[in-house]
Amino acid sequence: SNLSWLGYGCLKQDWTLITVNTIGAALQTLYILVYLYYSPAKRPVLLQSLLLLAVLAAGYGYFTILIADVRTRLARLGLFCSIFTISMYLSPLADLVCGAGW
């Protein structure tokens, strides 16, 4: 999420977005590395991290290579970031609803 918003900030040249999401991405990367270091089962965690990295590379390729127009890229990346952020907030809420037996 932070890397998507960081890319959006770079396209828009908004230094607030760039600064906040650079710090967020660095902290999340540090968290993943620490988790990997202390995890007793390193192979599944490493494979999940590599899969996530492949998805990130595919998204980067889509938004930089396949969408040539900067305005269109900015609009689609902004929409993707917004939907991804909303889904991050909806997933715990859905778990609460499903866990409550509704």
Domain residue limits at 18: 3-100
Are residues 84 and 6 in contact, defined by beta-carbon separation less than 8 angstroms? Answer: no
**Mean pLDDT estimate for the chain:** 88
Report d(CA 20, CA 51) in Å as an integer.
Answer: 25
Tens-binned pLDDT, residue by residue, of the chain (102 aa) = 888 899 899 999 999 999 999 999 999 889 988 988 898 888 888 898 899 889 988 988 898 889 989 999 999 999 999 998 888 888 787 777 776 655
Say how far apart CA 91 and CA 8 lie, in whole Å: 23
The amino acid that residue 75 corresponds to is A
pTM for the full model? 0.75
Number of domains making up the chain: 1
